[in-house]
């Protein structure tokens, strides 16, 4: 039996050394349930008690030698297969790749970032707030009474009795004044929602950017100077601004702000409809009632606020006549920016 085991070892190892050796078949032939080594082990019952451990040890050595040779052969086969695969799939890194289309920033985002850069340069910080807002912050704290038309469900998206989609970014100013002591100088860009039918100049979703400055001795002159710098940075150094009296519940006095037409210089053209001026935002001094609601003493502090529509600014700057173009994702339009 010893001779038979040695013969099995030599035959198995010899077959495994062959270049085209079938590893799985060799494993089945010698180590399988009906393999030659298994058959030898089944015949060990006929051996004497003295021979059995000697033959058993030799059989284990033969099995270990064959298993080790099989593992080594399998490792060599894997390495060879990988080498062939790498050669077959070789990539020439010097060849030009397939170009991938690269997008760019949406025109509304471009203008929003430009506005942010201008006001950051004047010392303002960016503050954001929730788009799902409480009635208190969207209306009550801003001196907008319960019977005000803006509270009508035809103008505002109500989610519940006291919860709504904000119709302006002014609530961010209230939240900031509640938790921050003056001096305060912030801008609050973001989406706002109003129940408007979609047409060339209206959309139920638009983007706003509001500004707030609260400090001791803040005046209307500071507001005008801030907006003059803003207008010149955005539309050009020759741009002029003018204030027209208006009414906003949360500012007193209030004004609509126009800029001189940057196309015709104020002479009158198609963009400014022959008027020489283009309305861009609303502004005013923060109403004392609003300051008091936020825990700021209006006898000690004053402030100014302004708000502009980013769509309106973008349409004015680029001569766009239909707000719907911003949301239709037509590449023919977007690629121009």
Summarised one tens digit per residue, pLDDT across range 84-122 is 887 887 777 788 888 888 888 999 999 999 999 999 999
Spell out where the chain has E strands.
Answer: 125-126, 132-134, 163-165, 184-193, 205-215, 241-248, 251-260, 277-286, 302-309
**Per-residue pLDDT tens for 255-308?**
999 999 877 777 888 777 888 898 999 999 999 999 999 999 999 999 999 999
The average confidence (pLDDT) of the chain is 87
- Cβ partners under 8 Å of residue 62, min gap 6: 5, 6, 8, 9, 37
Q: What is the pLDDT of residue 154?
A: 66
Residue 170 has pLDDT above 90, yes or no: yes
The neighbouring-strand residues paired with 186 are 125, 212
Q: Could you give the C-alpha distances from 114 to 120, 122, 176, 253, 256, in angstroms and in order? A: 10, 13, 23, 28, 22
* pLDDT beyond 80 at 159: yes
DSSP bridge pairs for 279: 258
Of all residues in the chain, the percent with pLDDT exceeding 90 is 49
pLDDT at residue number 7 = 75
Which residues neighbour 297 within 8 Å (Cβ) at sequence distance 6 or greater?
Answer: 291
Environment class of 20 (CB within 10 Å of its CB; exposed 0-12, middle 13-18, buried 19+): exposed
Has residue 153 got a pLDDT over 80?
no
Q: What pTM does this model have? A: 0.68
Please state which of the ranges 26-35, 179-188, 233-242 shows the lowest mean pLDDT: 26-35
**148-162, 164-178, 240-254: the lowest-pLDDT one:** 148-162
**H helix count then E strand count, the chain:** 11, 9
141, pLDDT greater than 90: yes
Question: What pLDDT, on the 0 to 100 scale, is given for residue 169?
Answer: 95
């Amino acid at each position: 039996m010893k001779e038979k085991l040695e013969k099995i070892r030599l035959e198995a190892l010899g077959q495994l050394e062959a270049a085209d050796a079938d590893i799985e078949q060799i494993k089945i032939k010698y180590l399988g349930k009906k393999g030659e080594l298994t058959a030898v082990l089944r015949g060990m019952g006929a051996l004497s008690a003295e021979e059995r451990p000697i033959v058993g040890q030799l059989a284990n050595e033969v099995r270990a030698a064959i298993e080790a040779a099989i593992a080594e052969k399998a490792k060599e086969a894997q390495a060879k297969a990988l080498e062939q695969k790498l050669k077959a799939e070789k990539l020439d890194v010097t060849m030009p790749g397939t170009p991938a289309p690269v997008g760019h920033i949406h025109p509304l985002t471009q203008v929003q970032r430009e506005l942010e850069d201008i006001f950051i340069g004047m010392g303002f910080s960016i503050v954001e707030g929730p788009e799902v807002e409480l009635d208190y912050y969207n209306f009550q704290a801003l001196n907008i009474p319960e019977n005000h038309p803006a509270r009508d469900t035809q103008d505002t998206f109500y989610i519940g009795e006291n919860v709504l989609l904000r119709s302006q970014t002014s609530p961010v100013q209230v939240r900031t004044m509640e938790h921050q002591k003056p001096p305060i100088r912030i801008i609050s860009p973001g989406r706002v929602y109003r129940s408007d039918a979609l047409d060339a100049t209206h959309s139920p979703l638009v983007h706003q950017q509001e500004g707030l400055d609260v400090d001791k001795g803040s005046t209307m002159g500071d507001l005008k100077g801030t907006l003059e710098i803003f207008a010149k940075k955005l539309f050009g150094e020759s741009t002029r601004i003018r204030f027209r009296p208006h009414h906003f519940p949360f500012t007193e006095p209030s004004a609509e702000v126009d800029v001189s037409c940057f196309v015709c210089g104020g002479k009158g053209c198609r963009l400014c409809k022959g008027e020489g001026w283009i309305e861009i935002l609303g502004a005013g001094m923060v109403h004392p009632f609003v300051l008091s609601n936020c825990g700021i003493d209006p006898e000690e502090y004053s402030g100014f606020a302004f708000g502009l529509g980013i769509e309106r600014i973008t349409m004015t700057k680029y001569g766009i006549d239909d707000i719907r173009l911003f949301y239709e994702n037509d590449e023919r339009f977007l690629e121009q920016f």
